[in-house]
């Protein structure tokens, strides 16, 4: 039952990638870890976004090998699987070539923190990961080595695109959407002048508030 619900969730979350304009053709993918089992659910390879549904999501083990069904999983499955093996706290992984963020990746340039929204979600700069060819574990290793111990849930893999992680697939999708949003604004800001740096103490305060206080909680903390 959990697996069935997760298939529906992963299929539906792919609709957010198209809704926010993060993907072209069949590029981009979302996966989710099946809680308590060494399994993951990921997009099938080369299937149109309009045709994605719970039934054609691919169930794989954490080596990226399909355990049922006929369809081949996304060509990025090895990278997702590597992240789940190396980062037990991660419940969802997303990959896109979203335009503005990938333009920063093409230059091998991290996105400096010039916006409060970036401080909130990413806690500072959005880092660049190494260049890595698809196939094997190189992309996964690059994601894990860059994001381990880093506040940012997004990495710009050099000359390639964005990978994001989250406690759930939904939070990884949110990070992918926010990454493109701040990448676009940072691009425009720098194109038109010199963006004003933010003080590290302000970035820290924003990150702490957003991560620990912001949002709807079952029992909200006392307000002062």
- So which residues are the catalytic ones? 95, 97, 120, 160, 214
Cβ closest to Zn ion, residue 134 vs residue 205: 134
8 Å CB contact between 120 and 210: yes
Cβ closest to Zn ion, residue 40 vs residue 162: 162
Name the residue number minimizing CB distance to Zn ion: 161
Q: What is d(CA 30, CA 61) in angstroms, rounded to the nearest whole number? A: 15
DSSP state at residue 56 = G
Nearest approach in angstroms of CB 95 to Zn ion is 6
Nearest approach in angstroms of CB 17 to Zn ion is 12
Nearest approach in angstroms of CB 68 to Zn ion is 25
Closest CA to 122 of 155, 146, 96: 155
CA angle 136-152-80, nearest 5°? 25
Q: What is d(CA 161, CA 102) in angstroms, rounded to the nearest whole number? A: 5
Type and span of the H or E element at 137: none
Cβ closest to Zn ion, residue 157 vs residue 169: 157
Report the interface residues with Zn ion, using CB under 5 A.
Answer: 161
Q: What is d(CA 181, CA 100) in angstroms, rounded to the nearest whole number? A: 8
8 Å CB contact between 33 and 26: no
Cβ closest to Zn ion, residue 96 vs residue 115: 96
Phi/psi at 40 (nearest 5 deg)? -140, 155
Nearest approach in angstroms of CB 52 to Zn ion is 17
């Amino acid at each position: 039952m959990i697996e069935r619900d997760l298939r529906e969730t992963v299929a539906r979350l792919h609709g957010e990638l198209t809704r926010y304009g993060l993907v072209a053709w069949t590029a981009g993918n979302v996966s989710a870890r099946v809680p308590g089992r060494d399994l993951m659910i990921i997009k099938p390879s080369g299937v149109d976004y309009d045709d994605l549904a719970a039934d054609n999501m691919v169930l794989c083990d954490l080596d990226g090998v399909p355990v049922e069904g006929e369809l081949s999983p996304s060509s990025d499955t090895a990278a997702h699987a590597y992240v789940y093996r190396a980062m037990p706290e991660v419940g969802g992984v997303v990959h896109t070539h979203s335009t503005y963020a990938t333009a920063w990746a093409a230059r091998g340039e991290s996105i400096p923190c010039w916006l409060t929204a970036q401080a909130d979600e990413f806690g500072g700069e959005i880092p660049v990961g190494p260049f890595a060819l698809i196939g094997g574990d190189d992309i996964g290793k690059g994601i894990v080595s860059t994001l381990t111990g880093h506040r940012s849930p997004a990495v710009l893999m050099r000359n390639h695109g964005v990978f994001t992680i989250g406690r759930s697939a939904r939070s990884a999708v949110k990070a992918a959407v926010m990454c493109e949003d701040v990448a676009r604004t940072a691009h425009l800001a720098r194109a038109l002048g010199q963006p004003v740096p933010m003080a590290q103490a302000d970035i820290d305060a924003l990150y702490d508030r957003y991560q620990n206080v912001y949002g709807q909680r079952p029992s909200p903390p006392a307000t002062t």
